[in-house]
Structure 1
Amino acid sequence: MHHTTENESLPFPILLGDIGGTNARFSILVDDTSEPIRFPNIKTADYPTIDEAIAKDVLEKTAVRPRSTILAVAGPIEGDEIDLTNCDWIVRPNALISDLGFEDVLVLNDFEAQALAVACLTDEYREDIGPKIEPLTASRVVLGPGTGLGVAGLIYARDTWFPVPGEGGHVDVGPRSPRDFAIFPHLDRIDGRVSAEEILSGRGVVNIYQAICKTDGIQPAFTDPADITAKGLDRSNRQAVETLSLFSTYLGRFAGDMALLFMAKGGVYLAGGISQKIIPALQQPEFRAGFEDKAPHSEFMRYIPTFVVTHPLAALAGLASYARTPSDYGISTQGRRWQK
């Protein structure tokens, strides 16, 4: 592994990849001016390895030969074998170089890529939740309830955006209202902990729903988060409706915590698969109420805008923006860049 100067461009064409727990999305950026070449979504479960997915579903489908790749992966990046948190793939940059012909491999955290996107998102790709406030060019937070719960900060300093990846989805959360105190004992935990991800993710939706059913002494009718959100949105099942209401409250509280942590005057952006699907629920009063309810700082919170990111491929757009002009972003490549 060579240590190169920070913000040095990778050689074009560049393969961009956003690898989540369930879906992998790829595009190729031929040069710094063209639009990326898109490829269909890949289900991570359909291929035993990422190498095979790239070979079959990308490289075999285009004559363009990428020389380098930037991969955004769900999970911490340590060493030469990068385990993905919510799927079986392992990213081995040295194998990508030796077997697939890449010269240069850069691996980022998936929410770092979402943060890059949030730095350059225009109006048309975000939906206001709560009051319409033009975001300042200031620190931002991106949160994504999906297979897991991704969190990243985005600090603005010296005319540069600095993404701050982390594992914020794993902080502890606790009950607050009388209803919370009734439901929380029934939530599934990990080693005794209710972390944010246990209630603000796909499995979190099911967790809240099943805890409501247990509290009310009702047999749960659904086990799939998509069914629960659908029944909650069309208001055809009382427990599903309450699940969405509580999910919105808990997401609002957590979003407010992260906004306080980063002093995010530039706004909080909700990414991830679930946020887009439940926009009507998030536009009800619960989300903003939970977000602003931060005494002694409720007044401060009122002026922080919150958005749902509606861009269909935000992480890839963020990676493309970085690949075109790396100098706009303070990305540390040390320990995360491999070269031939």
Structure 2
Amino acid sequence: MILLAGDIGGTTSRFQWLDSEAPKSPSSLFYYPSKRFSSFTALLTTLLSDSGIPHVDVACFGVPGPVQGCQVTLTNLPWTIDACELQESLPVDQISLVNDFQAAALGIDALSGDRILCLHPGEFDPAGNRLVVGAGTGLGVAPVYQLEGHFYPQSSEGGHIAFAPVTAEQSRLMDWLHRERSHISYEDLLSGEGLERLYRFCHLQHTGERPYPCSAETVHELAELGDEDAIAALRMFVHIYGQFIGDVALIWPARAGIYIAGGIAGKIVRWMTQEDFTSYFLAKESMNGVVEKMPVYLVKDELLGLKGAMRSARRLAGLEIEGEV
């Protein structure tokens, strides 16, 4: 059997296929800029042509959006994907769609130890639940419950929870953001575009002028070079990230680990490992003792979602997965 896995991102989509006769030798990776394609069908047609795969037995795709049955309308791309229609129009027998952070959560057990960095040791409980959170093009959240030694990720749209300021500076940020819209979600700040917003706000507060358009990558580069406004934006990003994860942890206690994934954290490791993150994560007043027991890990593997999608495809195909009984 031929298995195909995909991690569909708002910026980049990644794919890998596997022949069941060589289960330990997956293919090389295929990367595509998502926004170059008018639809997922067009992207998948290009992939099948480029890879030379004539037929796929089982495919699993992690997608950024709420999956309803066999359909999903993506959050950060103008696509609606219908797995049933894809199976009729393309040489793919079975297609499974899962939320992208469900896929990321499935990939945790496929990580090697050197791809995980402990930010807060907590008190690890091997019988506990997990939580996977990650900022990238958007902000993903996946609660993961454990039952009889197996982990079961749940999909959510927790990144769209309304932002709640906890400092005077954040209150000024909220007032500034409210000039453009009424509902401010955490994803509006904890994402690539969110970091760009924070930089515009910090620059405006400092100089009274709007900066030239600046990408999230450039903000990070400027901060590393010592730019005062970029440093302020990155520090605010880390503060808000910490407080958000701490808030979600109160809803979903994760004594078997909180895992920070997504495309941003792994690129700003130096900033995430400073005291700023943990101090805001732990700042829950009467609930400090609850969150401080939860270990927090930063995932430094951009293929986490793809690994999870492949594990899901293997389960659907009935193939053995290392580490599972």
The answer, yes or no, to whether TM exceeds 0.5 is yes
- Say if 2:225 is the partner of 1:225: no
> In the alignment, which residue of structure 2 is the partner of 1:147?
137
**In the TM superposition, what are the counterparts of 1:92-241 in structure 2 within 5 Å?**
92-131=82-121, 136-187=126-177, 191-216=181-206, 217-235=208-226, 237-241=227-231
How much does 1:119 deviate? 4.1
**In the TM superposition, what are the counterparts of 1:284-295 in structure 2 within 5 Å?**
284-295=274-285
Structure 1 residue aligned with 2:7, among 13, 18, 21? 18
How much does 1:189 deviate? 7.2
SS of the residue corresponding to residue 67 of structure 1 reads strand
- Say if 2:20 is the partner of 1:31: yes
**In the TM superposition, what are the counterparts of 1:179-328 in structure 2 within 5 Å?**
179-187=169-177, 191-216=181-206, 217-235=208-226, 237-325=227-315
User: TM-score scaled to structure 2, two decimals?
Assistant: 0.89
Structure 1 residues 47, 135: CA separation in 2 closer, same or farther (over 3 Å shift)?
farther
CA contact (8 A) 2:66 2:99 kept: yes
Structure 1 residues 135, 26: CA separation in 2 closer, same or farther (over 3 Å shift)?
farther
Q: Distance in 1 between matches of 2:295 and 2:248?
A: 13
User: TM-score scaled to structure 1, two decimals?
Assistant: 0.86
Aligned CA-pair RMSD: 2.3
Q: Distance in 2 between matches of 1:298 and 1:81?
A: 40
Q: Distance in 2 between matches of 1:107 and 1:319?
A: 9
- Say if 2:75 is the partner of 1:85: yes
How much does 1:39 deviate? 3.0
* Unmatched 5+ stretches in structure 1: 1-11, 330-340
Structure 1 counterpart of 2:225, which letter? D
List 4+ stretches of structure 1 deviating above 6 A: none
* Unmatched 5+ stretches in structure 2: none
Overall identity of the aligned pairs, in %? 27
CA contact (8 A) 1:68 1:104 kept: yes
How much does 1:105 deviate? 1.3
SS of the residue corresponding to residue 141 of structure 1 reads strand
How much does 1:182 deviate? 2.8
- Say if 2:52 is the partner of 1:62: yes
Q: Deviations over 1:102-137 (max 9, x none)?
A: 111111111100111124433222122244876734
> In the alignment, which residue of structure 2 is the partner of 1:44?
34
How much does 1:246 deviate? 0.7
CA contact (8 A) 2:117 2:299 kept: yes
Equivalent pairs counted in the alignment come to 317
> In the alignment, which residue of structure 2 is the partner of 1:9?
none
